């Protein structure tokens, strides 16, 4: 049985004064059967991990550099992230792939660095609207999975998040059949690559305009083990209902 996960990506939002949202999540989900992860901007990692120590909410980062150290102004290594007490890092998010040109090979290198430093890598995949409409979604996502996921990955070191780019922050979501089709393909590819035991155990998240009113149906879809949530994770009153829906799924 795969343990469900609700992960929140704050992107470039948040401040120390707003970390009280974590208190609300801790209070509402103290006995949660799910893994709850919040990924704030890098400057908030230490105050967030301190605030959540020993509780049900884990902290992750939004990106890392593949190298351990060096002349990389503005970058943060996986080791630095682990040193804050965080346990996860998102790599390969579409905003990084599009705005910063992160390739599959670079995403894989970042994931390797994360795993080597004891972090769980949340590897993101997803197609644009034009790629979806051209019938290229499944081949593209299959290629991203093959190129972005490290060979040494296990269910304990890897989470895969499918986020159709055209659904992120737009209010649009794929049909449940489309989500099921992609997640079934990802599951099959993971099983083929890592074997049945590992491939069946790696968690697959859906991300893209997940809201309290559509979460239950998404979580009832085969091979959806949780969600990677953007804007709705910034407020406990928005994120908690999504987590509750996951807990009931």
Given a contact cutoff of 8 angstroms between Cβ atoms, the answer to whether 45 and 76 are in contact is: no
Q: In angstroms, rounded to a whole number, what is the distance separating the alpha carbons of residues 163 and 205?
A: 8
Q: At what angle do helices 104-116 and 137-148 cross, to 10 degrees?
A: 40
**Bridge partners for 207 per DSSP:** 228
- Answer yes or no: 163 catalytic: yes
Q: Which of 145, 126, 152 is nearest to 230 (CA)?
A: 126
CA distance to 37, 199, 246, per residue, from 43 (Å)? 17, 35, 29
- Answer yes or no: 93 catalytic: yes
Measure CA 236 to chain center. Answer: 18
Q: What 8-state DSSP symbol labels residue 2?
A: P
Q: What is the DSSP string of 130-169?
A: HHHHTT-HHHHHHHHHHHHS-TT--TTTEEEEE--GGGTT
Residue 205: count of CB within 10 angstroms of its CB: 23
Instruction: Point out the catalytic residue in the list 93, 95, 127, 244.
Output: 93
CA distance to 51, 160, 161, per residue, from 110 (Å)? 27, 14, 15
Please tell me the total number of residues recorded for the chain in this structure.
249
Instruction: Point out the catalytic residue in the list 29, 65, 95, 163.
Output: 163
Residue 92: count of CB within 10 angstroms of its CB: 28
Q: So which residues are the catalytic ones?
A: 93, 163
């Amino acid at each position: 049985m795969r343990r469900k996960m609700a992960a929140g990506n704050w992107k470039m939002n948040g401040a120390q004064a707003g970390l009280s949202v974590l208190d609300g999540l801790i209070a509402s989900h103290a006995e949660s059967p799910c893994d709850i992860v919040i990924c704030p901007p890098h400057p908030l990692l230490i105050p967030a991990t301190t605030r959540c120590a020993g509780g049900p909410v884990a902290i992750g980062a939004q990106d890392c550099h593949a190298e351990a150290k060096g002349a990389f102004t503005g970058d943060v290594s996986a080791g630095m992230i682990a040193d804050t007490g965080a346990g996860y890092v998102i790599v390969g998010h579409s905003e990084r792939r599009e705005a910063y040109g992160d390739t599959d090979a670079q995403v894989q290198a970042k994931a390797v660095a994360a795993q080597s430093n004891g972090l769980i890598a949340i590897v993101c995949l997803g197609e644009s609207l034009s790629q979806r409409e051209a019938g290229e979604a499944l081949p593209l996502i299959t290629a991203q999975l093959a190129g972005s996921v490290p060979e040494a990955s296990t269910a304990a070191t890897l989470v895969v998040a499918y986020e159709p780019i055209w659904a992120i922050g737009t209010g649009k979501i794929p049909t449940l059949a489309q989500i099921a089709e992609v997640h079934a393909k990802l599951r099959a590819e993971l099983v083929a690559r890592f074997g049945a035991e590992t491939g069946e155990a790696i968690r697959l998240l859906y991300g893209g305009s997940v809201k309290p009113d559509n979460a239950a149906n998404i979580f009832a879809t085969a091979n959806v083990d949780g969600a990677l949530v953007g804007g709705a994770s910034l407020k406990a009153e928005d994120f908690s209902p999504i987590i509750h829906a996951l807990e009931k799924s």
